[in-house]
Every structure is written in C-alpha cells, then in structure tokens.
C-alpha cells in the first residue's frame, strides 16, 4: 500500500524540520541559539492563564459551539469594529479555529477548485504553497522587488493574474520580510479583486506588532462587506499563545458556512477552555501587547544598528512582524548551505531564505521575539563567521 498521490508534491515544513533538527542537537547536549521559529519567548498573559484555569475548574471541558465560543466571536467582531471600523455579525462572519494555519486551510479549501491559480507574494510564508497544493490549487509566485527591500506592491500580483486566478494571498506585516502594504497599494489590489472577481486572502496575523509609524492597513478597509476578502488572524503571535492553537477567519457568510462544514467534520469545535483564555487576552491584554512589542522593537533597533556595521551583509528594515530578513548572499549565495554551516560552526539556528520561495534565496530569517542576549550573541557570532569566511576567501585568491 502507498499513501495517497495527493501528498507526492507536498513538502514538509522547512521551518519545523530545522526546529526538529535543533531539538535533536539540544538533546545531544549542544547549546543552540534558537532563532528559527516564529514564536514569542515570553509567557502567555496572566489573564489568559487564569481564565483558562478557571474554565477548566468550572467544567468548561465539554464540546462547545462549532463556530467558536459566542462571547469570543462577539469580542473579536467588536475588536475589528473598533480598530478597523467594520460591522461584523458574530453569528455569520467569523469562525474561531485551532490556529491561524487551520483558518488558512479552511479558507483555501472553501474557495479552490482543481486547477485554480492562487497568487502568493514572495518571499512568503512556507505554508501557503503547500496548502494551496493540498486543496488542488496551483500556487503562483508574485515576487516582490529585492532592490526595493521587498516592499509589498500590487504590481507583482497584477502581472501574475490570468483567467484562472481565483485568489491573491497577501501577508501584511510580512513573514519573513517585515514589510507592510500601504493604503494606495492595497487599494489597487482591492480594486482589481473587485473588477476581476478574485478573492483577497489577507493574512494579518502580525497586525499589532509594528515598529514604525506606518499604520497597519487591513484588507477590511477597502471591502467592508467582505465581498472579496477573507481575513486570517489569531492569538499565537500577538499574545504569545502559540501552544494554545487558536485563530480565526472573517469572511462572507457563504464562505464561513462552507468552512463550518470542514470544522464540524474535522475538529468539531476549538478547545473550549483555551477559548476562555483567548477571550481574557483580547479583553485585558493591551498592556501585554505594548510591553512585548517594545521588547521586539528594541531587539530590532539593536540588530539594525549592529548589522549596519557588518560589511557584506544587509538587513531589510522590518516595519512589523516577528522577523528580520538578512541578505547573506555575498558570504554564500546558497541560503540552505549558509544556514547549515552557520548552525554547525556557530550553533545558531536560522531559516534559509529559499524556504520562502526563489526570491528569498541568498537571505536568512531570524526571529526577533527572543531574549536580547540571543540577538547580541547572534550579532557577535555572525560577525566572527563573516570575518572567517572573508579571510578564507581572500587566502584562496
């Protein structure tokens, strides 16, 4: 017997593969500076932990509503009304899911017919291509311009549109580049989606993690009725709740109801006591978000200042999100071999840029949501690695 052919073209997650390798090295006694995974190093908000504990004690341990806890749905809708000025119905326009990743899966599964083309901004999160393939679609790269620091623009998407284009996947702030789309660029994308009947799947999971005055522009701004927009978000990144596995999707009722069929026939409902924790995070977590974003911001500023002193590497300036994307192509244009060598020589784990598509080749991604000492160590080890590579290259000449 063989597994289904559907999986032949599906790749394992390169980030998870690196993280697993690193765990094995750690088990063998190696001390690794871990910068590969996109997860905040801090504990989840106390209010979330207390609320989940209370929920467990008061027997919120049975199946819950398959759309998600009504109070949590209402709270997320109010949040979006307050921040982005949209009016959403908690009984129609939202589904709470076990993580943003699952939300994205539902969204694409609800939309894609075999052979549909889905345009994905590149460099882009590793999971997009694989989910598109799993649901029968064809991922088409829309490469952003490295000379413009991978600024998120509409044109690369517009260039890739064909009669088979079904959706555009936008991620702002971006994983891995940290770039954020502007009002004018998003307006162009929204207009073309309307004209050509294309869905804009907007992954805004990093919307609250920003480092400059540039505002986060939500896709909801240009499509308040959700006619051509599906929005993905969650609690993992903003509230350091990666292990709780909670996210959500906002969409037109027709699509939410389609996704509900998937949810009811797969997981039944998201974990109930965890949702009480998420509700507490959303209602009482503003100061937590301010404090953690300040930490990441400080790491980002330190990194940018230090990287500017290292000849031969260049760090793209992250406007938001959890990552820094660093051009190491002058040291080694093959990012996989760079990452492997850097890990074996300096014991620092990073993600090779090629994992985010061909246009990420020559770059590495590191996570900024870590203890400052790890960023300081990264800088110092990168500096000595670069110095040794430059010295051995000049000896060869």
Q: Quote the CA–CA distance of 55 and 76 in Å, as a whole number.
A: 19
CB of 100 to ligand PLP, least distance (A): 3
Q: Quote the CA–CA distance of 325 and 314 in Å, as a whole number.
A: 9
Could you say which residues in the range 336-395 bind ligand PLP, by CB under 6 A?
A: none
The residue (of 234 and 346) whose beta carbon lies closer to ligand PLP is 234
Contact flags string 14-43 toward ligand PLP, x per CB under 6 A: ------------------------x-----
- Facing residues of 352 across strands? 364
Q: Quote the CA–CA distance of 246 and 277 in Å, as a whole number.
A: 10
Burial 161-177 (b: 16+ CB within 10 A, else e): beeebbbbbbbbbbbbb
**For ligand PLP, which stretch binds (CB under 6 A), given 96-104, 303-311, 326-334, 362-370?**
96-104
The site for ligand PLP, by CB under 6 A, has a size of: 13
Cβ neighbours for 275, distance < 8 A, ≥ 6 positions apart:
64, 68, 69, 72, 96, 246
Q: Are 171 and 203 in contact (CB under 8 A)?
A: yes
The residue (of 178 and 329) whose beta carbon lies closer to ligand PLP is 178
**For ligand PLP, which stretch binds (CB under 6 A), given 84-92, 99-107, 161-169, 357-365?**
99-107
Among 165, 236, 238, 359, binds ligand PLP (CB under 6 A): 236
**For ligand PLP, which stretch binds (CB under 6 A), given 97-105, 132-140, 297-305, 329-337?**
97-105
Could you say which residues in the range 171-230 bind ligand PLP, by CB under 6 A?
A: 171, 175, 203, 205
The residue (of 125 and 211) whose beta carbon lies closer to ligand PLP is 125
Token look-up 């209370």 returns 54
Binding of ligand PLP by 320 (CB under 6 A): no
Interface ranges with ligand PLP (CB under 6 A): 38, 99-101, 125, 171, 175, 203, 205, 234, 236, 242, 247
């Amino acid at each position: 017997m063989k597994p289904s052919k559907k999986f032949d073209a599906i790749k394992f997650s390169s980030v998870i593969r690196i993280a697993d390798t690193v765990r094995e090295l750690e088990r063998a006694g190696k001390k690794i500076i871990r910068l590969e995974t996109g997860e905040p190093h801090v504990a989840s908000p106390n209010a979330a932990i207390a609320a989940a504990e209370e929920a467990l004690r008061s027997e919120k341990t049975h199946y819950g509503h398959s759309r998600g806890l009504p109070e949590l749905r209402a709270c997320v809708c109010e949040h979006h009304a307050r921040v982005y000025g949209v009016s959403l119905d908690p009984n129609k326009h939202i589904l709470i899911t076990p993580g943003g990743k699952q939300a994205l899966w539902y969204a694409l599964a609800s939309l894609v017919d075999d052979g549909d083309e889905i345009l994905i901004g590149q460099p882009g999160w590793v999971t997009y291509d694989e989910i598109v393939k799993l649901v029968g679609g064809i991922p088409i790269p829309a490469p952003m311009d490295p000379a413009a620091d991978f600024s998120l623009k509409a044109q690369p998407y517009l260039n890739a549109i064909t009669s088979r284009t079904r959706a555009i996947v936008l991620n702002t702030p971006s994983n891995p580049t940290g770039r954020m789309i502007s009002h004018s660029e998003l307006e162009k994308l929204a207009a073309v989606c309307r004209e050509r009947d294309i869905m804009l799947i907007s992954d805004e999971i990093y919307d609250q993690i920003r480092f400059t005055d540039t505002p986060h522009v939500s896709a909801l701004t240009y499509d308040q009725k959700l006619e051509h927009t599906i929005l993905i978000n969650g609690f993992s990144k903003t509230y350091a709740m990666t292990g709780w596995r909670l996210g959500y999707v906002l969409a037109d009722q027709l699509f939410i109801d389609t996704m509900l069929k998937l949810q009811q026939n797969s997981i039944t409902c998201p974990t109930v006591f965890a949702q009480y924790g998420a509700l507490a995070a959303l209602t009482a977590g503003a100061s937590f978000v301010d404090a953690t974003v300040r930490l990441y911001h400080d790491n980002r500023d330190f990194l940018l200042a230090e990287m500017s002193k290292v000849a031969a590497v260049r760090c793209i300036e992250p406007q938001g999100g959890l990552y820094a994307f660093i051009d190491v192509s002058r040291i080694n244009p093959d990012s996989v071999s760079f990452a492997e060598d850097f890990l074996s020589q300096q014991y620092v784990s990073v993600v090779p840029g090629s994992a985010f598509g061909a246009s990420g080749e020559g770059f590495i991604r590191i996570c900024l949501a870590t203890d400052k000492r790890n960023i300081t160590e990264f800088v110092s080890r990168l500096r000595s690695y670069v110095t040794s590579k430059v010295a051995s290259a000049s000896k060869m000449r």
